[in-house]
């Protein structure tokens, strides 16, 4: 697998899935169509990302088989660190149930322990169901993440940083409120313009 793709999906989920005592592991899944997904979260935020992988020579998966690889949350940091040391290289992933995940790039190797059962299976089912349920076209809008980050340090006189969001229409400005006095507006990106920039694969 391309190291840059692996560090992207692992790093993206790591940014959202902070270390917490509730969900202390991350679920990686290899699908029958050779797509690696990474799923993680906590009681307040969750994320998943995916990228295609190239099966190693001689590898034959069972028809319809899904390989689940649960690793500790710290394993994401180990993966991203290893991949950043080997940019533009191919990283070979090998999964050994009971032992863990082994990454290899040339002669370099990194191991991440198997964390099967660290998080109850019901939590993973619940997270997947939430993502499936909320992929509803009627509720979709597009935000510029750089624009949204302008509001990350806004706080009220009680140091409150949580924002209340009011969305009237996917293409109308979004109102956000922090504390009793601060108000902000963000203009979403029009879907047609975004499609031209990133292609249809960048849209739901």
CATH number of domain containing 126:
3.10.150.10
| Pair 33, 120 in one domain | yes
Q: How high is the pLDDT of residue 138? A: 63
Q: How high is the pLDDT of residue 72? A: 97
| Pair 79, 115 in one domain | yes
| Pair 115, 168 in one domain | no
| Pair 166, 87 in one domain | no
| Pair 19, 65 in one domain | yes
* Domains held by the chain: number: 2
| Pair 83, 106 in one domain | yes
| Pair 95, 38 in one domain | yes
Radius of gyration of the chain (CA): 20
Q: What's the order of all strands across the beta sheet hosting 92-96?
A: 92-96, 100-105, 108-113
| Pair 47, 130 in one domain | yes
Q: How high is the pLDDT of residue 62? A: 59
Q: How high is the pLDDT of residue 193? A: 79
Divide the 204 residues of the chain into consecutive groups of 10 and give the mean pLDDT of each group: 93 91 94 93 90 78 80 96 94 95 96 97 91 71 86 80 83 86 86 78 72
Q: How high is the pLDDT of residue 12? A: 93
| Pair 126, 145 in one domain | no
> Do 19 and 25 form a contact (C-beta atoms < 8 A)?
no
| Pair 7, 76 in one domain | yes
Host domain of residue 94: 3-134
For the question of whether the overall pTM of this predicted structure is more than 0.85, the answer is no
């Amino acid at each position: 697998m391309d190291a840059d793709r692996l560090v992207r999906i692992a790093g993206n989920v790591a940014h959202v899935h902070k270390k917490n005592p509730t969900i202390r592991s991350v679920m990686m899944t290899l699908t029958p169509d050779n797509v690696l997904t990474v799923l993680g979260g906590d009681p307040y935020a969750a994320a998943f990302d995916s990228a295609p992988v190239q099966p190693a020579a001689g590898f034959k998966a069972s028809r319809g088989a899904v390989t689940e690889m649960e690793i500790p949350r710290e394993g994401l940091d180990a993966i991203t660190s290893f991949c950043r040391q080997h940019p533009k290289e191919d990283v070979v992933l090998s999964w050994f149930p009971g032992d863990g995940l082994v990454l290899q790039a040339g002669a370099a190797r990194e191991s991440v322990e198997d964390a099967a059962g660290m998080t109850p299976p019901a939590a993973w089912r619940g997270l997947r169901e939430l993502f499936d349920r909320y992929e509803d076209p009627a509720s979709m809008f597009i935000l510029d993440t750089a624009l949204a980050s302008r509001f990350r340090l806004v706080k009220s006189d009680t140091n409150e940083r949580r924002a209340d969001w009011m969305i009237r229409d996917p293409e109308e400005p979004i109102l956000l409120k922090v504390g009793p006095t601060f108000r902000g507006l963000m203009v979403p990106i029009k879907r047609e313009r975004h499609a031209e920039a990133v292609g249809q694969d960048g849209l739901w």
